[in-house]
Each structure stands twice: as C-alpha cells, then as structure tokens.
C-alpha cells in the first residue's frame, strides 16, 4: 500500500495575454507542454497537475498558485543565468521563496519543497 495521497489538484487556470509567449515561459521554468491550440495551452507539472493558460483580459495580480522546486538555490541561479530576473530569496518559517514575473507581469512564487513522503 502506498502512502501517496489519493487526490491532487487536476487543473489551475491562468488568464494570459499571449498563449504562445506564456507557454514558452512556463516551459522555460520547467513545465511540459501537453496541448496547445488557439484557445488554450496546457502545461503539465510533476504529479500530473495541469496549468491551463487561456487568452483573455489580464491583470498583473500574482499568480493564484505557487510552485515548489527541489533545490531553490540552484533554481534561483538557473533563472538568474537565463535572464528571468528572480527576486532575492526570502526566508520564512515554512518556506524559502523567490518571485519571477511571467510575460504578463504575474508574480509567480517559487518555494522550497516541504514534501512529506511519496508524491
């Protein structure tokens, strides 16, 4: 028997100004593109969660989700080297994190992992 939880988030949706540009950004930060057409891009994360990018009126609010990575310092350095201009790493009680702006100006937070067990 697995200790892996039996449920997970299936889809998160983000409204973007340019689906192609946003899909390229999310591929660059580590997602896998599984579908793209004129109405949507579907980006896959670890565990099978899909980020659905849909065209529409964009706000510059922060993304309604954060992303966790195995090695926050290495990811921060990689994004710096790639010109993504991550914020400095902040240190909190639970997570260390930094923010990168996507092509529409959404702040996407990258956090240190606190995964427990198999996922």
Sign of the torsion angle spanned by Cα atoms 19, 25, 29, 33: positive
Which of the two residues, 119 and 46, has the higher pLDDT score? 46
Is residue 111 within 8 Å of residue 90, measured between CB atoms?
no
Short-list 38, 37, 39, 34, CA closest to 10: 34
pLDDT (tens digit per residue) in 3-14: 777 788 899 999
The pTM of this model reads 0.90
Instruction: State whether residue 41 is helix, strand or coil.
Output: strand
Superfamily of segment(s) 12-55+62-112: 2,3-Dihydroxybiphenyl 1,2-Dioxygenase, domain 1 (3.10.180.10)
Instruction: State whether residue 12 is helix, strand or coil.
Output: strand
Is residue 26 within 8 Å of residue 101, measured between CB atoms?
no
pLDDT (tens digit per residue) in 3-49: 777 788 899 999 999 999 999 999 999 999 999 998 999 999 988 89
Domains in the chain: boundaries: 12-55+62-112
């Amino acid at each position: 028997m697995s200790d892996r939880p039996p449920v997970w988030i299936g889809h998160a949706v983000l409204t973007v100004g340019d689906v192609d540009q946003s899909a390229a950004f999310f591929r660059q930060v580590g997602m896998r593109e599984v579908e793209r057409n004129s109405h949507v891009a579907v980006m896959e994360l670890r565990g099978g969660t899909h980020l659905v990018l849909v065209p529409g009126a964009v706000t510059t609010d922060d993304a309604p989700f954060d992303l966790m990575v195995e090695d926050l310092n290495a990811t921060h350095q990689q994004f710096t080297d790639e010109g993504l201009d991550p914020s400095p790493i902040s240190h909190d009680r639970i997570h260390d994190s930094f923010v990168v702006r996507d092509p529409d100006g959404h702040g996407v937070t990258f956090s240190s992992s606190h995964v427990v067990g198999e996922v």
